[in-house]
């Protein structure tokens, strides 16, 4: 049975297909933001497919914006160029909330439409851009509180905006967004650790690295050590705690908003795989994408769980 077959089955039971899952869109049928997200952000693309069809383009625009600011560090050769690019996005957001004409750009115009159509809050956009400035420096977070703040600024904010686009941004739901966002960010940082180590970056808090005795040179060579596993296990444990906290409120999440919180399913599955690898984030098997991810998301969406 395909995802679309599952949707049809739900329709026969009297449930709204838009609230459960979406058609399997081909690349040719996607908007520009949708194509960007499909190509560069597999996780969020797949979660967006389970949003109501009339809100999906807003999610694609939001996730494409997030991809553009997230990749600034890799797209520039100097921190100053990164600052310039982030400033360009600040001006875009300024113009959007000043109701100035949108610049002709494949992401900007749909994003401005989404902001106006669904009344998206400005503060999360500002925080996303401000937090991404930290990527331009190679300094690790000083402590776990700094890592949590980074996760909130780069991930929880995106889920908050997605909930707004889906018409479900009440306080309890935003609280779930915070915890799920932190968990998904922590899992993502663990998953990206081989890439970050190869490029001379680390998101392991300095106090954690010092406590477990992590050697920076060994980390940069992507070598598996007990200290590395201890640091990864500590971050994974924190991610699992935030997942549990976020899921305690899932009974308050309406079906129409479930897609925004589906990253919890992805984070949970990666944490399981990491544990099986002995908390070695450099384990080769972790680099392979989960071939059953879309099915796990479909099952969660059909049950209105995350």
CATH of the domain at 149: 1.10.600.10
Tell me the CA end-to-end span of the chain in Å, nearest whole number.
Answer: 21
- The answer to whether residue 8 sits within a structural domain is no
Per the domain annotation, does 167 fall within a domain?
Answer: yes
Rounded CA Rg of the chain = 19
Is the predicted pLDDT of residue 3 greater than 60, yes or no? Answer: no
Q: Would 19 be classed as within a structural domain?
A: no
Domain that holds residue 209: 31-302
As a whole number, mean pLDDT of residues 129-139 equals 95
Query: Taking Cα atoms as reference points, which of 263, 138, 257 lies closest to residue 206?
Result: 138
The answer to whether residue 13 scores a pLDDT higher than 90 is no
Instruction: Please tell me the least confidently modeled range out of 21-25, 244-248, 291-295.
Output: 21-25
Residues 6 or more apart from 177 whose CB is under 8 A from it?
Answer: 156, 159, 160, 162, 163, 246, 260, 261
Stated pTM of the model: 0.90
Residue entry with tokens 């976020």 = 246
Range in 8-12, 36-40, 198-202 the model is least confident about: 8-12
Domain count, the chain: 1
Q: Is 196 part of any domain?
A: yes
In sequence order, which residues have a C-beta less than 8 Å from that of residue 193 and are 6 or more positions away?
203, 232, 281, 282
Supply the pLDDT for residue 11. Answer: 33
Average predicted confidence (pLDDT) for the chain: 91
Q: Does 15 map to a domain?
A: no
- pLDDT single digits (tens) 160-197: 999 999 999 888 889 999 999 999 999 999 999 999 99
Residue 157 domain-assigned (yes or no):
yes
Instruction: Tell me whether residue 3 is in a domain.
Output: no
Q: Return d(Cα 96, Cα 112) in angstroms, integer.
A: 6
pLDDT tier at 91, thresholds 50, 70, 90: very high
Q: Is residue 18 part of a domain?
A: no
């Amino acid at each position: 049975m395909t995802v679309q077959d599952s949707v049809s089955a739900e329709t026969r039971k009297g449930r709204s297909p838009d609230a459960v899952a979406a058609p399997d869109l081909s690349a040719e049928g996607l908007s520009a933001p949708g194509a960007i997200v499909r190509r560069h952000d597999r996780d969020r693309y797949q979660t967006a497919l389970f949003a109501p069809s009339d809100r999906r383009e807003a999610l694609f625009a939001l996730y494409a914006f997030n991809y553009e600011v997230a990749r600034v560090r890799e797209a520039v050769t100097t921190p100053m160029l990164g600052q310039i690019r982030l400033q360009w996005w600040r001006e875009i957001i300024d113009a959007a909330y000043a109701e100035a004409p949108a610049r002709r750009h494949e992401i900007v115009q749909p994003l401005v439409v989404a902001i106006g159509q669904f009344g998206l809050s400005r503060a999360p956009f500002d925080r996303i851009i401000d937090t991404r400035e930290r990527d331009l420096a190679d300094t690790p977070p000083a402590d776990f509180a700094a890592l949590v703040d980074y996760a909130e600024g780069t991930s929880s904010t995106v889920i908050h905006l997605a909930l707004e686009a889906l018409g479900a941004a009440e306080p309890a739901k935003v609280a779930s967004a915070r915890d799920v966002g932190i968990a998904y960010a922590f899992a993502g940082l663990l998953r990206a650790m081989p890439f970050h180590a190869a490029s001379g970056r680390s998101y392991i808090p300095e106090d954690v690295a010092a406590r477990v005795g992590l050697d920076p040179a060994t980390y940069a060579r992507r070598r598996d050590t007990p200290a590395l596993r201890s640091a990864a296990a500590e971050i994974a444990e924190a991610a699992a705690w935030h997942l549990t906290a976020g899921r305690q409120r899932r009974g308050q999440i309406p079906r129409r908003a479930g897609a925004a919180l589906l990253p919890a399913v992805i984070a949970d599955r990666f944490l399981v795989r990491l544990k099986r690898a002995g908390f070695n984030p450099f384990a080769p098997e972790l680099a392979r994408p989960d071939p059953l991810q879309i099915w796990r998301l479909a099952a969660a969406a059909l049950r209105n769980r995350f």
